[in-house]
């Protein structure tokens, strides 16, 4: 059992929080203690969308509100608590979709530059995926070169952002029934930028004043993220940098090395970090490191940039979101390179307690107190070498106040949709059939996507680990991305041996037969689009209904904090997935809006939200939902027999 007073279940984190206190270094855990969340803003009841406000419309405490009282709860402009709550919620979706999608746009721009031969150092790594996408998008292949084909793909991908009319291209990947639902509800996204801009317009003072209509636009923008911007990012990154396949690496702050130059890569976009991986292996750089007394150059990652370079190069993970400051507190990080998203503005301040250089690399994300070395796509290797050099030169400045925790755990990552396909079906008959069959026969009860951040309002990593353990114990195969995958990796759940130790008998049998962990690391936050593809592949393989909402699947973000998590949750829900969030829920200031998101939305989209802070209870809600879907499919009886059926056991052995 975790010590309830501790701020984390992770020993490395606990040690470094203590060290930060000794070093008089203020970190997020301290700030969370010092500043409680605003009780009005946290439930979505504060509007500051114009200069007449901010207007606060909190629920009255301790008593049921009469309809008359409810009508009086309005902003100066007359906006109701419902409108204010829905506006705040969909603005979060706009923020999240914009972040993922602008990442996708950056990838598309680099992709096009590479195809045109204007970005030296990069090349197309996955030809098969390039050709598949060309076929899917109706781009001529013939005897054209890869670069010629890639130019057409890059242009088509970029046009998705500004498309004024029509449907996003990847919408056609969804099961047909799902596409019909979206068309019926009028939420098929047009251009990604258009959907985000329309949210900002409709939530401006005095525009859309119907919460249902606001949430509808929120759905359209969220779908533009999941089946648009994020999917474009994932697909083009795979073509450019290689589609991930399983590899072994390690996670936690123990991956830092006392006698090497430590460089941490943090953020979300792998464009420059791909080059930093190359620069860190450059013989000249290694020579320079040795001349400064270091034995080598050690790269490690934080947050989703880390997941990207882990999945493709096996670069170890230093830690997740709440460990970013703690990496500096070790005193052993010579440079931390950041790109965009999830980066604490406090990093330069924390770095001052030690010797670390903070390097910003995106013109979109600068910080006071950091060194800016801009990512130059036309000559990225030069920027990357400059950064590595800066870190090497800083190595001799390390003080003696160093503590690298011992904790580091093995993990297997790299489970792209393509890999799962091959692993289950074999190279020549790649398919989801074995997965579907094992779901139908009940060895696998269902599949859960557990994703998202850390949040210092909850014990670091506890909910991720407790929830995932409960799910796999109950034979639910878990797919993960983001900081959640790192949390469970630290707990030792991302190795094949975890199946025997933690999984239920049915899931363990399947994992042992295929040789996979019971928890599959699928990548970064934009790679939640891989989960949509995997779900669609399971539908298309047959036997589990004809829509994502028929599948025995569920989603969760037990320690979420970012607007991106809300966008992801909304596209999961409106793609037909029951999705549970922990920590806090941002619309509870309005009963109508919350009731709609928790119940009414299911009638329209077949998926719905839930909020549960207790990770075990949340896991049980997911399992209940999975069982309900199994019953609807008529496969609930198979599960009752599964542990007793020797013929089925023999059949599995023969796979
Ligand atoms: Fe207040 Fe309306 Fe202005 Fe919001 S838009 S701050 S509710 S007056
Ligand atoms: S990095 S969005 S804290 S998962 Fe993708 Fe982690 Fe959440 Fe950032």
Element (H, E) at 337: strand 335-338
Of the candidates 491, 460, 458, 471, the one whose C-alpha atom is nearest the C-alpha of residue 320 is 460
- Region for 613 from its dihedrals, namely left if φ exceeds 0, alpha if ψ lies in -120 to 50, beta otherwise: alpha
The preferred substitution site among 48, 56, 214 for testing ligand 1, maximizing ligand atoms within 8 Å of CB, is 48
The Cα diameter of the chain in Å comes to 76
Identify the weakest region by mean pLDDT among 189-203, 504-518, 633-647. Answer: 633-647
The whole-number pLDDT of residue 647 equals: 60
Of the candidates 80, 83, 84, 82, the one whose C-alpha atom is nearest the C-alpha of residue 72 is 80
The whole-number pLDDT of residue 406 equals: 97
Q: Is residue 17 part of a domain?
A: no
The whole-number pLDDT of residue 653 equals: 47
The whole-number pLDDT of residue 551 equals: 97
Whether 455 is in the pocket of ligand 2, judged by its Cβ within 6 Å, is no
CA 363 from chain centre, in angstroms, equals 23
Which residue, 219, 241, 263, sits at the end of a domain? 241
Q: For ligand 2, atom 3, which residue shows the shortest CA distance?
A: 453
pLDDT at residue 652 tops 60: no
Condensed to tens digits (0 to 9), the pLDDT of residues 422-469 reads 887 665 667 788 899 999 999 999 999 999 999 999 999 999 999 999
Q: Is residue 500 part of a domain?
A: yes
Q: Would you call 578 exposed, middle or buried from its count of C-beta atoms within 10 A (0-12, 13-18, 19+)? A: buried
Q: Are residues 108 and 178 both part of a single domain?
A: yes
Which residue, 241, 268, 300, sits at the end of a domain? 241
Average pLDDT of every residue of the chain = 94
Q: Are residues 236 and 307 both part of a single domain?
A: no
Q: Are residues 492 and 563 both part of a single domain?
A: yes
Of the candidates 186, 216, 190, 189, the one whose C-alpha atom is nearest the C-alpha of residue 203 is 216
Of the candidates 65, 107, 63, 357, the one whose C-alpha atom is nearest the C-alpha of residue 229 is 107
Which residue, 362, 397, 432, sits at the end of a domain? 397
Contact 234, 198 (CB under 8 A): no
- Going from the C-alpha of 298 to that of each of 340, 357, 375, the distances in angstroms are 22, 15, 21
The whole-number pLDDT of residue 65 equals: 79
Q: Are residues 272 and 149 both part of a single domain?
A: no
Q: Is residue 25 part of a domain?
A: no
pLDDT at residue 650 tops 60: no
- Distance between Cα 54 and ligand 1 center (Å): 6
Element (H, E) at 581: strand 578-581
Range of the domain at 491: 415-633
Provide the pairing of β-strand 519-521 with 335-338.
Answer: unpaired
pLDDT at residue 614 tops 90: yes
The whole-number pLDDT of residue 60 equals: 82
For residue 341, give the ligand nearest its CA: 2
Q: Are residues 532 and 437 both part of a single domain?
A: yes
pLDDT at residue 320 tops 90: yes
**Integer Cα distance of 7 and 11 in angstroms:** 10
The whole-number pLDDT of residue 62 equals: 75
Q: Are residues 568 and 494 both part of a single domain?
A: yes
Region 338-360: mean pLDDT is 97
- Distance between Cα 47 and ligand 1 center (Å): 6
pLDDT at residue 648 tops 60: no
pTM above 0.85, yes or no: yes
Q: Is residue 193 part of a domain?
A: yes
pLDDT at residue 2 tops 90: no
Q: For ligand 1, atom 7, which residue shows the shortest CA distance?
A: 75
For residue 525, give the ligand nearest its CA: 2
Q: Are residues 375 and 471 both part of a single domain?
A: no
The whole-number pLDDT of residue 642 equals: 62
The whole-number pLDDT of residue 651 equals: 54
| Residues lining ligand 1, Cβ inside 6 A | 47-50, 52-55, 75-77, 79, 84, 205
- Check which CATH number belongs to the domain holding 132 and give it: 1.20.1270.30
**Integer Cα distance of 74 and 52 in angstroms:** 12
Q: Are residues 545 and 422 both part of a single domain?
A: yes
pLDDT at residue 226 tops 90: yes
The whole-number pLDDT of residue 4 equals: 56
- Check which CATH number belongs to the domain holding 577 and give it: 3.40.50.2030
Q: Is residue 283 part of a domain?
A: yes
Region 145-150: mean pLDDT is 97
pLDDT at residue 130 tops 50: yes
Q: How confident is the model at residue 643 (pLDDT cuts 50, 70, 90)?
A: low
Of the candidates 384, 381, 364, 284, the one whose C-alpha atom is nearest the C-alpha of residue 373 is 384
The preferred substitution site among 230, 269, 321, 569 for testing ligand 2, maximizing ligand atoms within 8 Å of CB, is 321
Q: Are residues 318 and 427 both part of a single domain?
A: no
Q: Are residues 563 and 617 both part of a single domain?
A: yes
**Integer Cα distance of 216 and 601 in angstroms:** 10
Q: Is residue 228 part of a domain?
A: yes
**Integer Cα distance of 465 and 615 in angstroms:** 9
Region 501-518: mean pLDDT is 94
pLDDT at residue 142 tops 50: yes
Q: Is residue 486 part of a domain?
A: yes
Q: How confident is the model at residue 655 (pLDDT cuts 50, 70, 90)?
A: very low
Q: Are residues 485 and 617 both part of a single domain?
A: yes
Condensed to tens digits (0 to 9), the pLDDT of residues 380-435 reads 999 999 999 999 999 999 999 999 999 999 999 999 988 888 887 665 667 788 89
- Distance between Cα 202 and ligand 1 center (Å): 13
What percent of the chain is modeled with pLDDT above 90?
89
Q: Is residue 4 part of a domain?
A: no
Q: How confident is the model at residue 69 (pLDDT cuts 50, 70, 90)?
A: confident
Give the number of other Cβ atoms within 10 Å of residue 376's Cβ: 15
Q: Are residues 221 and 259 both part of a single domain?
A: no
The preferred substitution site among 100, 303, 455 for testing ligand 2, maximizing ligand atoms within 8 Å of CB, is 303
Q: How confident is the model at residue 72 (pLDDT cuts 50, 70, 90)?
A: confident
* Domains contained in the chain, number: 3
Condensed to tens digits (0 to 9), the pLDDT of residues 542-597 reads 999 999 999 999 999 999 999 999 999 999 999 999 999 999 999 999 999 999 99
Whether 342 is in the pocket of ligand 2, judged by its Cβ within 6 Å, is yes
Q: How confident is the model at residue 1 (pLDDT cuts 50, 70, 90)?
A: very low
pLDDT at residue 46 tops 80: yes
């Amino acid at each position: 059992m975790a010590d309830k007073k501790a701020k984390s279940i992770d020993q490395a984190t606990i040690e470094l929080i203590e060290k930060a206190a000794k070093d008089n270094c203020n970190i997020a855990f301290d700030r969370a203690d010092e500043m409680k969340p605003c009780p009005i803003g946290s439930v979505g009841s504060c509007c500051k969308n114009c200069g007449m406000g901010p207007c606060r419309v909190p629920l009255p405490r301790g008593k049921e509100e009469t309809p008359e009282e409810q009508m009086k709860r309005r902003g100066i402009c007359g906006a109701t608590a419902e409108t204010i709550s829905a506006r705040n919620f969909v603005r979060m979706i706009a923020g999240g979709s914009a972040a993922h999608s602008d990442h996708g746009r950056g990838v598309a721009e680099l992709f096009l530059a590479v195809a045109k031969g204007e970005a030296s150092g990069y090349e197309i790594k996955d030809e098969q995926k390039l050709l598949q996408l060309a076929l899917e998008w109706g781009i001529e292949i013939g005897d054209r070169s890869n670069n010629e084909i890639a130019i057409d793909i890059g242009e088509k991908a970029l046009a998705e952002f500004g498309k004024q009319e029509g449907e996003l291209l990847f919408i056609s990947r969804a099961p047909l029934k799902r596409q019909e639902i979206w068309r019926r509800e009028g939420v098929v996204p047009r251009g990604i930028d258009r959907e985000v801009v329309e949210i900002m317009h409709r939530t401006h003072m005095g525009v859309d004043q119907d919460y249902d209509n606001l949430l509808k636009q929120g759905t359209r923008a969220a779908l533009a993220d999941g089946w648009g911007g994020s999917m474009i990012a994932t697909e083009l990154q795979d073509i450019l940098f290689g589609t991930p396949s399983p590899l072994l690496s390690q996670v936690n702050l123990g991956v830092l090395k006392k006698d090497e130059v430590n460089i941490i890569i943090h953020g979300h976009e792998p464009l420059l970090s791909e080059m930093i991986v190359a620069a860190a292996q450059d013989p000249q750089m290694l020579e320079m490191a040795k001349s400064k007394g270091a034995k080598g150059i050690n790269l490690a990652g934080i947050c989703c940039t880390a997941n990207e370079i882990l999945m493709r190069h096996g670069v170890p993970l230093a830690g997740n979101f709440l460990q970013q400051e703690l990496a500096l507190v070790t005193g052993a990080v010579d440079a931390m390179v950041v790109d965009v998203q999830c980066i604490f503005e406090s990093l330069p301040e924390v770095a001052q307690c030690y010797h670390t250089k903070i390097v910003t690399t995106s013109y979109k994300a600068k910080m006071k107190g950091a060194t800016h070395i801009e990512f130059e796509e036309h000559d990225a290797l030069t920027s990357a070498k400059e950064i590595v050099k800066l870190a090497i030169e800083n190595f001799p400045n390390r003080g003696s106040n160093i503590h690298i925790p011992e904790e580091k755990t093995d993990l297997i990552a790299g489970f792209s949709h393509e890999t799962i396909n091959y692993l289950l079906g074999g190279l020549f008959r790649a398919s989801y059939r074995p997965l579907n069959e094992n779901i139908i026969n009940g060895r696998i009860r269902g599949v859960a996507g557990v994703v998202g951040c850390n949040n210092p309002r909850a014990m670091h990593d506890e909910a991720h680990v407790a929830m995932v353990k409960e799910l796999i114990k109950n034979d639910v195969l878990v797919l993960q991305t983001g900081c959640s995958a790192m949390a469970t990796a630290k707990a030792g759940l991302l190795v094949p041996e975890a199946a025997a130790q933690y999984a239920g008998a049915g899931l363990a049998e399947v994992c042992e037969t295929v040789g996979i962990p019971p928890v599959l690391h699928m990548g970064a936050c934009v790679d939640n689009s891989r989960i949509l593809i995997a779900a669609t592949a399971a539908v298309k393989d047959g036997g589990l209904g004809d829509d994502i909402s028929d599948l025995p699947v569920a989603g969760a973000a037990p320690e979420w904090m970012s607007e991106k998590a809300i966008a992801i949750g909304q596209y999961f829900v409106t793609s037909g997935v029951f999705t549970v969030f922990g920590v806090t829920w941002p619309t509870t200031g309005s009963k109508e809006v919350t009731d709609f998101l928790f119940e009414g939305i299911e009638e329209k989209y077949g998926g719905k939200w839930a909020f549960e802070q207790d990770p075990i209870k949340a896991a049980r809600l997911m399992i209940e939902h999975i069982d309900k879907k199994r019953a609807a499919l008529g496969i609930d009886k198979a599960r009752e027999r599964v542990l007793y059926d020797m013929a089925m056991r023999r059949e599995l052995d023969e796979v």
